[in-house]
């Protein structure tokens, strides 16, 4: 067994292939996804666990840094393949050691553990003595870490009709109604189409008072992931007019819903239902194991999401952190306390200050 830390292109290609096909992986482990943090002046690296030159586990470490402060963040993982659970502790042990080598004041991890039976999470927790000195939770909030899966599975579903009938009657009604309203779906490919779709997401974010990355900081990531087929931007049109979009990323043998936007009109075209059905149908047609509609959102968004799922899989005892430089971290907490209401300003600042 061997553990390496790398950003070499040939290893990143092998890692991304592993993330696509490993059931316990997440889009948060993809190299292109983590490369997007470079627009904030952050860095990243991939830790790979090898067994006879085959990847069987690892994690991505994001080195978040501004001025005096550095943080080593593992947004998802470490993870290991089935049969290598006994190596998970070795990977966890590497995290604080690696963080210290970058002179970070803090580091954290997210182990995808849940008692709900699902092959995409860790159901049996091995002995993890590397956590003896760790604290439970996360204290750094500016790099997203997953909290679970909002899961629609495809087990025992033979065809599209069975898939549609697996939903409650009101959801079937809304899906059929959205199709009758004359909506058509399209996979966005060109930069101009993708920008138009992302502009709609930005417009929805502004209207509903939440923030997403601006086009300039996320453009390269979107285009790269769509071109190499790790992501899809699905759009809904009616009579050549864009009505809504959803952005999905593929990893772990399933798609995850990342973000979306719709035009609010009367009469209601039920664009949200149409697009989620298109995403689920595409996942089924590609013979994936399910669809993660993702956690979080406004009350209305949550209600729509939860109406589509079989299980809400919340990670349990999954988030742990280490404080490596107490003085620097206390100083960070002081600044964070006084700036926490200015997250959008901080994000803009991070995109300018690169140290």
Q: Which CATH class is domain 2-148+315-352?
A: alpha beta
Asked if residue 261 lies in contact with residue 69, where contact means CB atoms within 8 angstroms, the answer is: no
The reported pLDDT for the residue numbered 47 is: 98
Q: State what percent of residues in the chain have pLDDT above 90.
A: 81
The reported pLDDT for the residue numbered 86 is: 94
| CATH topology match: 2-148+315-352 vs 156-288 | yes
Instruction: List the alpha helices (DSSP H) in the chain.
Output: 9-21, 31-35, 88-101, 160-165, 169-180, 191-207, 215-227, 271-285, 299-306, 326-339, 343-352
Average pLDDT, the chain: 92
**Considering only CA atoms, which of 256, 247, 258, 251 is closest in space to residue 223?**
247
- Both tokens of residue 308? 């589509």
Half-sphere exposure of residue 338: CA atoms within 13 angstroms, side-chain side: 5
The pLDDT tens digits for 66-101 are: 778 999 999 999 999 999 999 999 999 999 999 999
**What secondary structure does DSSP assign to 9-77, as a single string?**
HHHHHHHHHHHHH-TT--GGG-HHHHHGGGGGT-EEEEEEEEETTEEEEEEEEEEEEETTEEEEE-SSB
The reported pLDDT for the residue numbered 353 is: 44
Half-sphere exposure of residue 97: CA atoms within 13 angstroms, side-chain side: 9
**What secondary structure does DSSP assign to 110-151, as a single string?**
E--B-SS--TTSB-SPPP-GGGTT-EES----SS----EEEE
Phi-psi region of 23 (alpha: psi -120 to 50; beta: other; left: phi over 0): alpha
Sketch the domain layout of the chain as residue ranges. 2-148+315-352, 156-288
How many C-beta atoms lie closer than 10 Å to residue 126's C-beta?
12
Q: How sure is the predictor about 355, in pLDDT bands with cuts at 50, 70 and 90? A: very low
Asked if residue 244 lies in contact with residue 263, where contact means CB atoms within 8 angstroms, the answer is: yes
- What pTM was computed for the model? 0.91
Give the distance between the most distant pair of CA atoms in the chain.
Answer: 62
Half-sphere exposure of residue 285: CA atoms within 13 angstroms, side-chain side: 7
Secondary element (H or E) of residue 230: none
* Beta strands 290-292 and 148-153, pairing class: antiparallel
Helix axes 191-207, 215-227, angle to 10 degrees: 130
The reported pLDDT for the residue numbered 343 is: 54
The reported pLDDT for the residue numbered 296 is: 84
The pLDDT tens digits for 309-342 are: 999 999 999 999 999 999 999 988 888 776 655 5
The reported pLDDT for the residue numbered 354 is: 40
| Residue 245 DSSP SS3 | strand
d(CA 262, CA 136): 38
d(CA 72, CA 43): 10
What's the rounded mean pLDDT across residues 222-232? 95
For 156-288, CATH gives 3.40.630.30
């Amino acid at each position: 067994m061997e553990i390496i830390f790398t950003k070499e292109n040939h290893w990143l290609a092998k890692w991304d292939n592993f993330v696509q096909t490993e059931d316990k992986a997440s889009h948060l482990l993809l190299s292109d996804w983590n490369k997007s943090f470079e627009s904030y002046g952050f860095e990243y690296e991939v830790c790979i666990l090898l067994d006879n030159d085959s990847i069987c586990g690892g994690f991505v470490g994001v080195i978040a840094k501004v001025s005096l402060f550095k943080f080593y963040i593992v947004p998802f993982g470490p993870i290991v393949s089935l049969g290598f659970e006994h190596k998970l502790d070795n990977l966890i042990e590497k995290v604080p050691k690696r963080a210290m080598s970058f002179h970070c004041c803090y580091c954290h991890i997210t182990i995808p553990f849940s008692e709900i039976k699902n092959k995409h999470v860790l159901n049996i927790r091995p002995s993890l003595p590397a956590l003896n000195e760790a604290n439970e939770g996360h204290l750094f909030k500016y790099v997203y870490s997953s909290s679970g899966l909002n899961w629609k599975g495809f087990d025992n579903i033979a065809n599209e009709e069975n898939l549609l009938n697996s939903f409650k009657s009101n959801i079937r009604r809304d899906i059929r109604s959205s199709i009758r309203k004359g909506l058509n779906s399209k996979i966005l490919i060109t930069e101009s189409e993708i920008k138009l779709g992302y502009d709609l997401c930005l417009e929805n974010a502004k209207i509903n008072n939440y923030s997403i990355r601006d086009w300039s900081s996320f453009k390269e990531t979107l285009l790269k992931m769509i071109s190499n087929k790790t992501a899809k931007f699905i759009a809904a049109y009616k009579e050549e007019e864009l009505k809504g979009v959803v952005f999905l990323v593929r990893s772990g043998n399933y798609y995850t819903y990342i973000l979306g936007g719709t035009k609010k009109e009367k009469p209601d075209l039920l664009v949200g239902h149409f697009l989620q059905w298109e995403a689920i149908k595409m996942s089924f047609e590609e013979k994936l194991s399910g669809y993660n509609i993702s956690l979080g959102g406004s009350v209305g968004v949550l209600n729509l999401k939860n109406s589509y799922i079989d299980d809400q899989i919340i990670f349990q005892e999954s988030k742990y952190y280490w404080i490596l430089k107490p003085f620097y971290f206390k100083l960070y907490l002081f600044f964070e306390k006084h700036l926490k209401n200015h997250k959008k300003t901080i994000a803009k600042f991070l995109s300018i200050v690169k140290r």
